[in-house]
Each structure stands twice: as C-alpha cells, then as structure tokens.
Amino acid sequence: MSTPRQQVLVFRELPPDQLARLQAAHEVTVANPRVAEQRDAFFEALPRAQGLIGSSYRIDAPLLAQAPALRVISSISVGIDNYELPALRARGVMLCHTPGVLTETTADTLFALVMATSRRLVELAALVREGRWHKNIDESLFGWDVHGKTLGIVGFGRIGQALARRAALGFGMPVLFHNRSAVNVNEELPALAGLARQVSLDELLAQADIVALTVPLTDETRGLMNAERFAAMKPGALLVNGSRGGVVDEAALLASLDSGRLRGAGLDVFATEPLPLDSPLRTHPRVTPLPHIGSATHETRHAMAVLATSNLLQALAGQTPAATVR
C-alpha cells in the first residue's frame, strides 16, 4: 500500500538526487529562510508542512506555532542545538539527525586543526602567498611538534574516540579524556588500551599540551571553557574547538591568548557564525580560524543528505527512522 503524498518543506538545499527521492513520494517546496528571496515562500509553506528537512536554522516554539500540521523534522546535522527540544516534545514532533556518517571526516578536520595550529601552517602559508618569504625562517616563526605531546579530549563520543585513534595510533600521543559517563577503554576501545585514560576535567586541563573540544552544546556545556578553566590549563597549551562556539567564552579565550597563557587556538566554530568582520578572533595572530568545515567534504555532506532524506521518508511512512533524537 503506497503512502499518501504529504507536504514537505526543504529549508536548506539538498543534492539533486535526494531532492528527487522526496519529490517522487511527496509534494515538495524548497525555500531557505536565510535567503531573502526565499523567506516569504518558507513562511507561506510552513502552515501546510508535515515534514521539514534542512539545517542551521532555529526551530523554536514561535516557529512551531506556525506549523500546525508538522509531524517530523529531519536535520542534516548531528548537532541539535538549533532545535527547542521541549517545544518539539510538547507538540509530539519527531526530530531526526545524522550521527555516525560524519564521524571520521570531522575527526580528520580536528586533527588537521591540531597540526595546523601547532605548526602554524596557515600563518606561514600567508607568509609565502603575500610575498613576505625573503629568507629562511628563524625561530620566531618555528612551530611546535605534535608527535608525543599529550592530547586532552573533552567529550569522548564517536568523534572524540576517532580523534583519539588518530592521535594515539598515528602520532604516539598519550590521550587523556574527560566524559560525563564512564568509558571502559579496554573493553569498548581495545585498540586504545593503555593509550587513552579517563580523568577529571581539572587533571586533563593541567596535563594536556593540546586540549580538543568535542562536546555537544547543552546547558551544561555552554561557556564550559571560561576564564577559570583557561587559567587551569597547562601554560603554553593549545586549544582546538570543533564542537560548538558557545562552549567557549570567547572573551576569556582572547584574554588567555593575549596574556600568553595559551600558545594558540584552532577554531572551526564560533559563537556567532559567520564570524563577524569586527571579531578579534578573525585576525588574532595566535588563532587559526576555519569556517565551520568539520564535515564539509563532498562525500560526507552527501552521505548526511542521504541519511536525512531516508529519515524523513521513513518517518512520513510511519516507519522508525534510522536516527532519531531520543
């Protein structure tokens, strides 16, 4: 028995093959509310929408009030901080997301950021591009070794564990990790047995040469890295953030960089994105900034779109999607 065609609103562009999957089964409107020319179309379609699919747009109680027919949202992301979960639960709206498919790619990005920040790759590439490389560099432009340094990972889910494998197995880095629940490394991650150790956050900050953040943004983690925690870090350490910008108090980070307490920071995420032109983080000599590219490869973004589309089609058909938010 075929599923009745329903109203689907695509609020961030999908690859053509995935859009075609939706159009074959349902009536589809494509309207990105972040694009001025499409905003009116989004809000015109919203009251009829039974399914939404997209990412990077806030879905809260006032918006839900304009979507009385809504049954399911399929987010093309693993993070769910753009969705007001209590409001969704109160309405009985299912939320799906895309964990797993971006794990390895995001871990690649994070480790690349560890390397780039420690070896000052972006800064030195600019030296060449801008025609300022006139002689062999001296120690004022030297970077710092990565191999053998202690990596502290705050948040030890899929991405944190993938990052640990790269560090410990590929670069001989002792790994300390902090996680809200206990992880039995010997049983759950035998490849990392004897190489990764769970510790308190205080111990991690005091001992790690490089601190990497891979936690979701929640009420508990918002502003987690504040002035007190930067002061607790090992002098000369590096910070790498590939989670969410709100996990870091950016003013406190800047103060720690300016004081020399931190040697540098590699940031793929910021409290406000895109990063405002007047943000000191954009041009700070100790910051290696990236434009939120953790999962931004052709292969991974397509895989995310495939999973998000499958989630939506399954939910609208009354089936259990592969990845729902509990």
Q: In this structure, what are the phi and psi dihedrals at residue 7, rounded to the nearest 5 degrees? A: -95, 120
Q: Reply yes or no on whether 27 is catalytic.
A: no
Question: Who's near 18: CB < 8 A, 6+ residues apart?
Answer: 305, 306, 308, 309
Nearest CA among 243, 244, 273, 239 for reference residue 257: 239
* Spatial separation of the C-alpha atoms in residues 325 and 323, rounded to whole Å: 7
Which one is catalytic: 188, 220, 273, 299? 273
Q: Reply yes or no on whether 123 is catalytic.
A: no
Q: Reply yes or no on whether 58 is catalytic.
A: no
End-to-end CA distance of the chain: 29
Tokens (6 digits) for 119 = 């070896």
Cα atoms found within 13 Å of the Cα of residue 6, Cβ hemisphere only: 23
Which one is catalytic: 12, 97, 244, 286? 244
C-alpha of 306 from chain center? 19
Positions marked catalytic: 244, 273, 292
